[in-house]
């Protein structure tokens, strides 16, 4: 059971690939630049070249699951947000439908369901995430949508919360998000769920083990 990681060279994608490789999981990292291959090859992770703004369907060959953690990045304009975060995600979902994949894990964003509640500077990004998430929910592909709060680079604690009111702060480490991706892939009960993620006290394994498939 091989997992295609779209956005593998991003911070969350790299951590996920490291953790997945350490657990002996079959992972394929989709990359835009051949120069990025060395890091993943050092982990024993298979790579494939593909571009969300171009061709990438070949990357799905022999894969049964997808992790989508790609993003255009805060340094780009709204045009890239449309092409990558929205249209790239939709194309990946449609490819997954055609190939009848078993599971699609989307890394989205907290507040994606209510873009106008977010800071003005990122509302276009939240709109893109909302529309991509909705396309995934209405697709034929079993899905999990993870919606982290503000991302940080501190080490993962292995603990989270899903209710903003149940603790302080609106942050979560990227490593904890990567651990949640791993947990969602390992728990069939995560399918059909959209899950807000913040730093907290609940063990990640306990959270995902408590979910029931919808």
Per-residue confidence (pLDDT) for residue 16, from 0 to 100: 98
pTM: 0.96
What residues make up the domain containing 180?
Answer: 3-209
Per-residue confidence (pLDDT) for residue 123, from 0 to 100: 92
Q: What is the dihedral of CA 176, 103, 7, 36, to 10 degrees?
A: 100
With 80 as the cut, is the pLDDT of residue 76 above it? no
Collapse the DSSP code of 69 into the 3-class scheme (helix H, G, I; strand E, B; otherwise coil) and give the result.
Answer: coil
Per-residue confidence (pLDDT) for residue 79, from 0 to 100: 83
Q: Is residue 53 part of a domain?
A: yes
With 90 as the cut, is the pLDDT of residue 77 above it? no
With 80 as the cut, is the pLDDT of residue 122 above it? yes
Q: Is residue 129 part of a domain?
A: yes
With 70 as the cut, is the pLDDT of residue 74 above it? no
What mean pLDDT do residues 53-64 have? 97
Residue among 132, 36, 117, 120 at smallest CA distance from 83 = 132
DSSP 94-139: HHHHHHT-SEEEEE--TTTT-GGGS-GGGHHHHHHHHHHHHHHHTS
The number of helix segments (H) and strand segments (E) in the chain equals 7, 11
What average pLDDT is seen over the chain?
A: 95
Q: Is residue 48 part of a domain?
A: yes
What mean pLDDT do residues 61-75 have? 89
Q: Is residue 55 part of a domain?
A: yes
- What are the tens digits of pLDDT across the range 8-20? 999 999 999 999 9
Q: Is residue 175 part of a domain?
A: yes
- What are the tens digits of pLDDT across the range 143-166? 999 999 999 999 999 999 999 998
Confidence of residue 97 (pLDDT cuts 50, 70, 90): very high
Collapse the DSSP code of 201 into the 3-class scheme (helix H, G, I; strand E, B; otherwise coil) and give the result.
Answer: coil
Task: Report the CATH number that the domain containing residue 150 is assigned in CATH.
Answer: 3.40.50.720
Rg of the chain in Å (alpha carbons): 16
Per-residue confidence (pLDDT) for residue 193, from 0 to 100: 97
Per-residue confidence (pLDDT) for residue 20, from 0 to 100: 98
Q: Is residue 92 part of a domain?
A: yes
Catalytic residue among 60, 68, 125, 208: 125
In the annotation, is 87 catalytic? no
Burial of 46 by CB count in 10 Å (0-12 exposed, 13-18 middle, 19+ buried)? middle
Domain count for the chain, please give it: 1
Q: Is residue 214 part of a domain?
A: no
Per-residue confidence (pLDDT) for residue 71, from 0 to 100: 87
């Amino acid at each position: 059971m091989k997992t295609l990681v779209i956005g593998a060279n991003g911070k969350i994608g790299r951590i996920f690939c490291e953790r997945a490789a350490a657990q002996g999981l079959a992972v394929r990292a989709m990359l835009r630049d051949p120069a990025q291959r060395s890091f993943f090859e050092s982990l024993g992770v298979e790579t494939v070249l593909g571009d969300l703004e171009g061709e990438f369907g070949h990357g799905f060959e022999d894969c049964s699951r997808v992790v989508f953690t790609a993003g255009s990045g805060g340094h780009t304009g709204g045009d890239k947000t449309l092409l990558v975060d929205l249209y790239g995600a939709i194309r990946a979902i449609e490819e997954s439908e055609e190939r009848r994949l078993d599971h699609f894990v989307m890394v989205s964003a907290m507040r994606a369901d209510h873009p106008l509640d977010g800071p003005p500077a990122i509302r276009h990004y939240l709109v893109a995430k909302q529309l991509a998430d909705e396309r995934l929910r209405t697709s034929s592909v079993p899905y999990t949508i993870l919606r982290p709060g503000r991302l940080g680079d501190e080490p993962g604690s292995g603990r989270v919360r899903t209710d903003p009111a149940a603790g302080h702060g609106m942050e979560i480490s990227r490593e904890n998000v990567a651990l949640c991706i791993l947990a969602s892939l390992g728990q069939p009960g995560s399918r059909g769920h959209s899950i807000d993620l913040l730093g907290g006290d609940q063990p990640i394994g306990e959270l995902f083990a408590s979910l029931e498939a919808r």
